Each structure stands twice: as C-alpha cells, then as structure tokens.
Structure 1
Amino acid sequence: MKQSILQIHPGDNVWVALQNIPAGTAVSNGAQTVTAIRDIAAKHKIVAGSIPKDAPIIMYGVLVGLANEDLPAGELITTRNIRHASGQFSVSGERHAEWTPPDTSPWKNRTFMGYPRKDGRVGTGNYWVIIPLVFCENRNVQLLHEMLVKELGYREPSPYESMLQQLLRDFRQDHSAATATLTLPTRTFPNIDGIKLLTHTMGCGGTKDDARTLCGLLAGYITHPNVAGATVLSLGCQNAQISILKEEIEKRSPGFDRTVIYLEQQQVGSEKELMTQALQQTFEGLTQANNWQRQPAPLSKLCIGMECGGSDGFSGISANPAVGKVADILVALGGSVILSEFPELCGVEQELSDRCVTTDMAARYVQLMRDYASRAEAVGSGFDSNPSAGNIRDGLITDAIKSAGAAKKGGSSPVTDVIDYPGWVQRSGLALLCTPGSDVESTTAEVGAGANIVLFTTGLGTPTGNPVTPVVKLSTNTILARKMHDIIDLDTGTIINGEETIDEVAARIMEMVIDTASGNYQTKAQVLGQDDFIPWKRGVSL
C-alpha cells in the first residue's frame, strides 16, 4: 500500500501528504497517528501534533514558519494560519566541511565525448554565438542569425508549419499537394551544433556597473567551453564597450584563443557595410570552428548547474535530493557543481555557511545573503515574497519551506567557492553562485559561470532552456511527466510512488547526463529550440 504521509526529518512537526487525504482519514507515522480535520491535497502539509500560536513550524529540521493561531493535530497549513519565518545565521568559527563521499565506482572510469579546449575545460557542445553589446544592435544580430541559420541548415522543422500548410491546402482546396512535406537543407558545418543568438535589453541606459556586469556575463558565454566562437556587434556610444568586454574575457581566459569578431556600427558606417563584414567574417570563423571534434573526456570535466523552476510540494523530497545525490557523485569524481538562487536558500544559511571550507568564504556567503535581502527590503519586498502563486497552490506555503527543499539540489559536500554574479567557476567542488530565484535569470547566470550541463527540476512544468548548454528537465511527480511529456526529460516521481529510491533515480540521471554531454541525447528544450537568455539587472535605469 502506498505511504500516505512523510515526515522528512525526525524533528519536523508537520508531515507531507504524498497523496490526497480526505477529511476524517487517520494517517500515521510509526507510533503517531492523527486524523485529518479537512481534506489535505497531495503535496500539502498536515500538522503532526498541536502547535500553539506563534510557535515554530519545523520542516527539514529547520524553522520554516510561525503559527498565526493555535493549530490542532490534523490541520492543514495554509498562508492564513502560518507565516514565513527563518532561523538566524552568522559566521561560525567552526567548519563543518567534512563529509562522506558516495560510492563512485560505477562512474570512476566513465567518460563523455566532449570538445576539449586549450584552457583545459571541455565542452558538451560546439556553438557559434552572435551577441549585441547593446540592445540597439538586436535587429542587426537577428538579421545575421536568421540568414546563417536558414542557409547553413540549422533551421529546425516546426510541427506547426505542417499544420499551417494543411490549413492553407484546405483553404485553397488544393488536395493534390496533400502529401507535400517541408524539406530542409543539409548542415554545411556538421561539427557545429548550432548558431545561437544572445539578444537582451541592456548595454546602455543603466549604471556603469550594470554595463560591466553585462560584459562579464557575455564574456562568460564567449569563453564558455561549449562555444567555438562569437560575433559581437556594437553600436559604439553605449556604456558596454568592446574594451570592457575584452577585459572581462581576459580575466576568465588569459590569452583566449578562440575566434571573436568585433564590429562597431558607428565606426564601420552603413548598415549594409556592417552586415557585409559580419556575414563574411562569421562565415570564415564558422569554417574554422567546424574543425573541432568530440573526444573522450573524464567526468571530472563536467560542471553542472543545479536549477529549479515551477517547484511544488514534492520538489524537496524527489527531484531535488536526487540531483543532490548526482552533485555529490560529481564532486567526489573531481567535477564542479553550481548551486544558485540565493532567495531560495533562505532559512538554510547557517548550514551552508558552516559547510564553507574557510571562514572567509563563509563570511562572503553571509554578506551576500544579507546584502541581497536588504536590497529586496529597500524596495518594499523581501525573501518572504518569493513563492509564486503556483508554488503556494502546490504546497510551498512559505519561502523557508521552498528554500529548505530547494537547497537539497546542492547535495552534502563542502562548499569550495562562493561567487558573486557574474563570476565564474575556478575550482572543482560545490560553488554557491549569487543569482535571483527567477529560473531563466539564474540558469543564464549558471551557464555564464561555466555550467556545461544544467539539471532543472520542476513540479509544475516550465519549458526553460539555454542557447549553449543543454538543460535536462526533471519532473518531481509522474502526473506532470505524463501531462507535459514534451518538455520533461526524466521523471523522478517514481520516488514518491515508492517505485525507486533516490540512489536509483540518481543513477538514471547520471546516465542521461553522460548521454547528453556526449551529444547522444537531445534534451526536450533543445528539440523545442527553447533558447532562453535573460541577464540579471541589479541596478536602476538612468
């Protein structure tokens, strides 16, 4: 019989409903039994024992809220009867960086087929990127991209095109063409996985810090191991200058040797001359980039970004701990892992601070969290505003509940680096990267920091992808995996159903990571052409 509730941590005073629990149903956790006072929907939380008004609500062993009223055993927790609260945190003099690595024997001698770069990193793809340094150039880069994608064979067929063709045939009553099919050109450059566009709305009009931050993020993409070369178009008068971008590239990869084409419209002259030079030089760059070929690489060359979006009440007990197990395996193999979304680490700051390998690193993390929270409060908000309507509807009542489950994506290894946006990974192990909770902005930042694979967990279903890094989408529940099968790559709901353990699901994820990194598996986001790119703007517009 399927288990109806789960107590995540021995100290928790609320349980998670694993299935719908009708009012009047008795549920038990070992020796303790309570009766549901009202209907409890799956993913939501039931009070395990009476909780007085203003007393703490504990989940995952940490403070996640306070009771707004006396809560009897069997009550459903809601936004009405509890409020957000999280524990205090500080920089402890003690380090808790010791851990027990998982068994890596199944993966120790495994490799993936990647693109080795001269800086020692290995790409899981081989892309050419076209980048505007300022939004004024968006039209020109879009035009360049459209021409190259169409003529070089990178235009992917859409199922909606054949649908439209059928509608047109029906309208014209031209049934003789009913068997016509869309034909696509063969790729001119078979070793180039795609030509990608990184349009944005920044580069001028904001602060000088915003301009340099944008250049840092773009430099992260240009030097990314998945990128073979880039074409950069600049207007010329904006804050984000080519010289700043070159400085940021040199910081990340001294003596950078891949092809980058820089063209400035106000210096070149007419649009026709700009586009002519861009097309000619980019084509030449593509012919050189096509010489890269996949070669075997150890799994230690993987850098995985851990991301979530559209989370639900099962995220923290299925998909997130499963990818957390993958994180631990990869760290034990010498690889790199990125945990971001700082607003969704609210309430677990002390644990993560204590896991930092040095006191200075812990102090940096604590300061970044406090500064971020202060900026949110300065504009009349706060981390308590983080849960979305969908999060709340599916059982994530407070930010601390959401955060305690979200942090599971980072596994249990020591924190070896703390990075502010738009920084980059420079050492192996688990890195904390300061980003917003917004999944696209955070994924954009993780890739800019060097993630060559992203594991993205979702309970509600989000189509997020990235232009240059494969985003593997993992559902927290089987219902979602079946309903939105066109965006979900792997179902971890088997953990909730009792069909698999976290370790078994983690092993399946590892296999998918290797296949994806080798180019043998196209993620659903890649198939759909879901190339989301949104830089994080921290400053104000001027």
Structure 2
Amino acid sequence: MKHLVAKIHPADNVLVALTDLPIGTPVTWDGTTVTTTEKIPAKHKLALQALEPGDSVTMYGVLVGKARHAIKLGGLLTTANIQHATNTYDEHQERRAAWTPPTVDKWQERTFMGYHRSDGRVGTANYWLVIPLVFCENRNIQVLEEALVNDLGYARRKSYQPQTQELISLMQAGKSVEEILQSDFGGTDTRYNKPKLFPNVDGIQFLSHEGGCGGIRQDAQTLCGLLAGYITHPNVAGATVLSLGCQNAQVSMLQAEIQKRSPNFDKPLFILEQQKMGTEETLVSTALRQTFVGLMQANANQRQPAPLSKLTIGLECGGSDGFSGISANPAVGHVSDMLVALGGSVILAEFPELCGVEQELVDRSVDQATAERFSSLMKAYGDTAIAVGSGFDMNPSPGNIRDGLITDAMKSAGAARKGGSSPVVAVLDYPELVTKPGLNLLCTPGNDVESTTAEVGSGANVVLFTTGLGTPTGNPIAPVVKISSNTALAQRMPDIIDINTGTVIDGEETIEQAAERILDYVVRVASGEEVSAVRHGQADFIPWKRGVSL
C-alpha cells in the first residue's frame, strides 16, 4: 500500500512527501498525525515538529541542516528557511561498527559469462582502446575513428539526418516558418551499417581528452595513471596510444603507471609517436594496421563462466531527487552488501556527497589507518574548496533543489546509502586501483562523469547509476546501469532507464526485493546484455584534473 509520507529514521524530525500534499492535508506516521500548513510537493519535506531558528533538522538519523527561521509543524522545508549544517567528526572511531552480512545462499553458485584475463580479473566486456596521450592528438584520434568504426560494424549512434532532409524538402516546397514548426514528421536512422567483423570485440573506444600538457606536472602523472587504469582494465583487450612526443604526459610515464597496476602486463599495446614518425599519413596508416591486427587478437577472446566475486561495481548517482535516498540508493546499497558477502568489490566515490556521514564511515573502517586516510582526504578536499570561496554546501544543483534536496548534507546522507552497511576495507586516492574485495572509498568529485570515469579507471567493470531526474551518462568500456528512483521518470524517459525502483515508493516491493531484481539484471549485463547507455553509444569520458570540482 502506498503511503502519503515516509519517515526514514526513527530519530528524524521531518517527513518526506511521497505525493503532492495540498494545504490542510492530515498525514499520519507511527500514530502521530500532522496537518500540512502549506502545499508540500512530492519529494519535499515537512516539519514533524515546530522548529525555531537554529534548531537542528535531522534526516537519516543525522544532522542535515538548521532552521534559519521559525517553521510551523507541518510546514515546508525550503532553501529559504533551512541552511546546510553537519555534525563534526573525528578520525578516531567512536565505536567499531558491527556488520551482519545479508543472506546470499541463492547467489553462491551463480556465475556470469565474462572475459578472463591473465592477471586473474574478469571483464564484463571486451573493448579495444585508441587513446591520445595529449590533446594535440585528438584530431588524429578522430581520423582513426572515421576510418575504423563504420567499416568494422561499430557505428552505433542514431542519425537524425532523415529529419534534416525532410525539413529541406518542406522549405523547398515553400512551407512557412509556422508550418515547418508544426510539421509532424518522423524518422531516424540507427546506423548499424554492417555486422561486426569481429563478433567477440564489443567495440573500439576513442578516449579523447583535453589533458597531457600544460597545467602542472602532477596533472600529467594523474592522467597517465587514469589511462593506465583503462588500458589494464579487465574490460579492455588492448590499446593503441598516440603520442606527440614533447608533452608532459610522456610515454615512459604511462608505461610506469601500467607496470604499477599490472606488473605482468601482456595485452597487445601499440604506442606511436608522431614527432618520430613524421607525416600524419605515416602515423595514421601505421596505427590502422596495428589496431586491425590487435582486433584480430582480441577477437580470439570468448566469454566463460566466472563467479560473482569477480565483479567490481562502481556506485554512482546523478540528477538525484528527494526519492533517491529512500528507493534507488538504499536498493543499490543492499546490492552492495550482497556483493561484498559474495566476495566481490564495490566502489563508493563522490567525496563531496559524503559530507555529514563521515563519522559513520570512519566507524565502519576496518582499522585506524583506513579511518585516518578517509578523514585526511575529506578534510583536504573540503579545505581546498573553501580556499577558493566555495564549499561542499554548494554541491546541490538547481535540479536537486527543485526536487527536494535542499542542503548538501541532505543530499549526501541519501547518496551514501549506495554504500550499504559493510565495513570500509580501503580508502583510495584518485586514480588508485581497487585491490581488495569489499567496500572501497575512492576520492572523486561529485561531478557525474568525472566520478564515473574515475570509478572505471579504478577497476569497476559495471557501474550502478541512480537518478531521480534522468541523465544519459555512460562510459566507454563499462556498462552503466541506469536506475530510476521514481516511476514517473522511468515512464517519461524509458530510452535511458534500465531499472525502475519507484516501485518502492509506490508500495509495490521492498528495498530487498528491488535489490534482488537489480543484482539479477547485473549478472545478465555482466554476461553481455546491453544497457541503454551502450545501445545509444553514450561513452562519456572526462578525466578529473585535480582541483575543486563539486
């Protein structure tokens, strides 16, 4: 049965509206009836007690803000009457958090069909990469893409060219501006021009970027670490790398980062330097030949059964709303706990969106050194933001605020639920590699694409991405499963949503049931079933240039 409101934690002094509540609506929770004193839009919060200026606002059992002005019992919480606030935290554990793993007996023998690599990792896909070491090579990357993609059967993007041709026809027929604007014509061309020449290769991905030179030398080192994470990734069969020659991101730097992540690296890797080779034609022709041979080698790989412990799942949210923290995120959190119980790895990132739940994560750390590293990275990130006149409190976007996330602490408390309740086994600084099974924290921005890019670079072979507003975000090499927090979004944007957890809000299933459904889908995706982002050719890649990015 669908309720009108929800109370997330027994200690909370606010309720979440699950539907639009007109002024004067009586709502009851745990025997307490509150009458709304103004209109409460769905996803927004109403006061469960009268609040005076300076009073604490509690959600998820933690401080998420303080009242700027008096708020009546049953009143609406807004950015005008609530300001961001969080509890302080200490790097020392207040108590070691106990953890009871969920029952996963039914999943113990479950396998997925993946690509086994010599280092023991297993890929959920099999891609070839073409990478520039510096932005100066982006044009040559584009030339290679034009030469390879169509003829090898990897063209995926939908073309709207037929619509343009019809518009031209309407104009040439003398139609007016009004008639053209009101014309109802359809037709797009999804360009699967040819069957794939290499059926066991999922695609060729071209990772253009704006880095590799300029800036500071640490930027080049970090970029090489990220690129090495992609080259050594289990979803990658091999790579072609183009270097200009004089840039900060030197070939030797990339090779050292590859060695750091994979000491016995044995994938096909072709590195070409334009300033040594001479003409563009020589460079591109050589790259074409080598890449084609690499694809022939990659095509020899075939999917084989692998245990679920070989999954590394990245946890991401973007375009979040007031339902994200009570449907999609906790469902993903239960998936995280199930995977950890099965011996797999999960990555919780977006450090600006862990603001306010630091003490909980400190207390969940497996040892004091892990707790101290998390605390140190969080404080350094926060201090850097403050130093440039910003801060974590500026993280929520206009869309977040419009749909009920009115403080960063409120947004963060809900976002952190993606990490479930298992112990924190490691804290990684971007772009370090995940090496331990269990819950790993990775220092990244809250920016969706930067964070997703980083999680995959650290080893995620599947990403679970929750959204309340809708976003098409994908990744070049890892399937990004888009999970809707509400049914209206899933119905409005079915082309980008893979799973709807609005069923939890609608009272149709529990968090645990939604999680089981998500994990079943993950197994199918890890075995090759395409997600929406892959079908649309959505392959977003933005390296984080270390600095303030919220």
TM superposition score normalised by structure 1: 0.96
Which residue does the alignment assign to 2:39? 39
Question: Contact 2:308 / 2:342 at 8 angstroms: preserved in 1?
Answer: yes
The code of the aligned residue for 1:508 comes to: R
Which residue does the alignment assign to 1:338? 347
The reply to whether residue 9 of structure 1 matches residue 17 of structure 2 is: no
Change (3 A) 1:53 1:118: same
Question: Contact 2:331 / 2:514 at 8 angstroms: preserved in 1?
Answer: yes
Which residue does the alignment assign to 2:477? 468
Which residue does the alignment assign to 1:364? 373
Deviations 1:385-417 (A, max 9, x none): 000000000000000000000000000000001
Question: Contact 1:309 / 1:439 at 8 angstroms: preserved in 2?
Answer: yes
Please point out which of 351, 364, 378 is paired with 2:360: 351
Q: Provide the secondary structure at the position in 1 that maps to 2:107.
A: coil
Supply the distance in 2 between the matched residues of 1:391 and 1:295 (Cα, whole angstroms): 42
The equivalences for 1:57-456 within 5 A come to 57-93=57-93, 96-156=96-156, 158=158, 160-164=160-164, 184-456=193-465
The code of the aligned residue for 1:296 comes to: P
Supply the distance in 2 between the matched residues of 1:136 and 1:157 (Cα, whole angstroms): 25
Change (3 A) 1:183 1:495: closer
Displacement after TM superposition at 1:96 (Å): 2.0
The code of the aligned residue for 1:66 comes to: K
Displacement after TM superposition at 1:139 (Å): 0.3
Which residue does the alignment assign to 2:527? 518
Supply the distance in 2 between the matched residues of 1:382 and 1:128 (Cα, whole angstroms): 39
The code of the aligned residue for 2:296 comes to: T
Displacement after TM superposition at 1:300 (Å): 0.3
Displacement after TM superposition at 1:167 (Å): 5.4
Q: Provide the secondary structure at the position in 1 that maps to 2:503.
A: coil
Question: Contact 1:62 / 1:348 at 8 angstroms: preserved in 2?
Answer: yes
Change (3 A) 1:516 1:200: same
Question: Contact 1:210 / 1:539 at 8 angstroms: preserved in 2?
Answer: no
Which residue does the alignment assign to 2:543? 535
Supply the distance in 2 between the matched residues of 1:295 and 1:483 (Cα, whole angstroms): 37
Supply the distance in 1 between the matched residues of 2:523 and 2:444 (Cα, whole angstroms): 27
Supply the distance in 2 between the matched residues of 1:263 and 1:503 (Cα, whole angstroms): 50
* Aligned positions, number: 535
Displacement after TM superposition at 1:115 (Å): 0.0
Which residue does the alignment assign to 1:479? 488
Change (3 A) 1:168 1:515: farther
Supply the distance in 2 between the matched residues of 1:471 and 1:355 (Cα, whole angstroms): 27
The code of the aligned residue for 2:131 comes to: I
Supply the distance in 1 between the matched residues of 2:114 and 2:226 (Cα, whole angstroms): 23
Which residue does the alignment assign to 1:506? 515
The code of the aligned residue for 1:285 comes to: G
The code of the aligned residue for 1:34 comes to: V
- Structure 1 unaligned blocks of 5 or more: none
Supply the distance in 1 between the matched residues of 2:264 and 2:331 (Cα, whole angstroms): 39
Question: Contact 2:464 / 2:481 at 8 angstroms: preserved in 1?
Answer: yes
Question: Contact 2:11 / 2:61 at 8 angstroms: preserved in 1?
Answer: yes
Q: Provide the secondary structure at the position in 1 that maps to 2:496.
A: coil
Deviations 1:281-314 (A, max 9, x none): 1111111111110000000000000000000000
Aligned-CA RMSD value: 1.7
Supply the distance in 1 between the matched residues of 2:239 and 2:417 (Cα, whole angstroms): 36
- Bigger Cα displacement from structure 2, 471-480 vs 531-540: 531-540
Displacement after TM superposition at 1:98 (Å): 2.6
Q: Provide the secondary structure at the position in 1 that maps to 2:530.
A: coil
- Tell me the percent identity: 63
Supply the distance in 2 between the matched residues of 1:402 and 1:170 (Cα, whole angstroms): 48
- Structure 2 unaligned blocks of 5 or more: 174-186
Change (3 A) 1:67 1:501: same
Supply the distance in 1 between the matched residues of 2:384 and 2:66 (Cα, whole angstroms): 24
Q: Provide the secondary structure at the position in 2 that maps to 1:494.
A: helix
Question: Contact 2:382 / 2:391 at 8 angstroms: preserved in 1?
Answer: yes
Question: Contact 2:119 / 2:264 at 8 angstroms: preserved in 1?
Answer: no
Question: Contact 1:95 / 1:359 at 8 angstroms: preserved in 2?
Answer: no
Q: Provide the secondary structure at the position in 2 that maps to 1:440.
A: helix
Change (3 A) 1:414 1:12: same
Displacement after TM superposition at 1:2 (Å): 2.6
